Amino acid sequence: MRRILLTGVTGQLGYELKLALAPLGEVISASRAELDLSRPADIHQIIEKISPHIIVNPAAYTAVDKAETETQLAQTVNAEAAKAMAEASQNLGASLVHISTDYVFDGQQHTPYTEADCPHPISVYGKTKLMGEAAIQEACDHHYIFRTAWVYGAHGQGNFVKTMLKLGRDRTEVRVVADQIGTPTSAAYLAARITQFVSHLDNPNQPPPDFGIYHLTCSGAASWYDFAVAIFEEAKRLGMPLKVQQVVPITTADYPTAAQRPAYSILSNQKIDAVLGPALFHWREGLRRTLAQLYRSS
């Protein structure tokens, strides 16, 4: 039976991956307590003991602003732990599926980024994730790196959707940045597509996908302001109790943060669509499904 080691199971993507991957084999879920990525020296021994056929690693240091001051911790988790995981995968002959980010780009482009475009991160978080990508590419032959963007889900800790819902319950006016453009991507959709990809890795009836980097998001584009407006529209349609009456668009300069963020980070899905077939799953549909799930569980 295919043995899959899954990290970060308490996170929003890890939770969805645990459910989605279950039909593919034995999923061994590793929480932070069981596989602490802030301690890379322990990773080899832990992974060798589990001896998986496939490792799926959504775990990361994702506190974008905190990373500007917690630089070493971000580098340890996002780069050094990724390297150790890749080395362990190589030793076992296992495939490594790793999740990366649109923040490896600087946002100066005005057309969707492809896998061939040159990364140029402008934050510590983006730089450490790019370091992790490079370490994996060097250490593991069978690597599959998925860059995604603006991920949110019904489970796990805070995300933009949950933050907006809280603000919408507490305030009549919410101010949101309107000059950063990306693609909101639901964790459930992301998990489903990654699982579809993983099912191809050792299928005897077809050749495995080429190793390398893939971009994977929902379709469509939005600013954070557009996303917030949609959250409130869909939440009100469901009957969620909200006080908010007005969403005010502001600029990045109006809302200074410790870390710089790319002004434009749309990712092209053409490469992954060529492998799995086009999904054409719009970000707003993902939002509707997530809000419905949150509403049912409230």
Element (H, E) at 186: strand 185-186
Residue recorded with tokens 């669509």:
273
pLDDT at 78: 98
Q: What pLDDT, on the 0 to 100 scale, is given for residue 176?
A: 98
Q: What is the pLDDT of residues 218-245, one digit of tens each?
A: 999 999 999 999 999 999 999 999 999 9
Residue 33 has pLDDT above 90, yes or no: no
If pLDDT is split at 50, 70 and 90, which confidence band does 270 have?
Answer: very high
- Average of per-residue pLDDT values in the chain: 95
Predicted pLDDT of residue 207: 80
**Under 8 Å between Cβ of 163 and 128:** no
Query: For residue 174, what is the enclosing H or E element?
Result: strand 173-177
List, for residues 130-189, the tens digit of each pLDDT value. Answer: 999 999 999 999 999 999 999 999 997 789 999 999 999 999 999 999 999 999 999 999
Q: How confident is the model over 51-63, as a mean pLDDT?
A: 96
Residue 20: per-residue pLDDT: 97
Residue 17, φ and ψ in degrees, nearest 5: -65, -35
Percent of the chain with pLDDT over 90: 91
Letter string b/e over residues 44-75, b meaning 16 or more CB atoms within 10 A of that residue's CB:
eebbeebebbbbbbbbbbbebebbbebeebbb
pTM of the model: 0.96
Distance CA 202, CA 199 (A): 7
Q: What is the mean pLDDT of residues 20-40?
A: 91
Catalytic residue annotation: 125
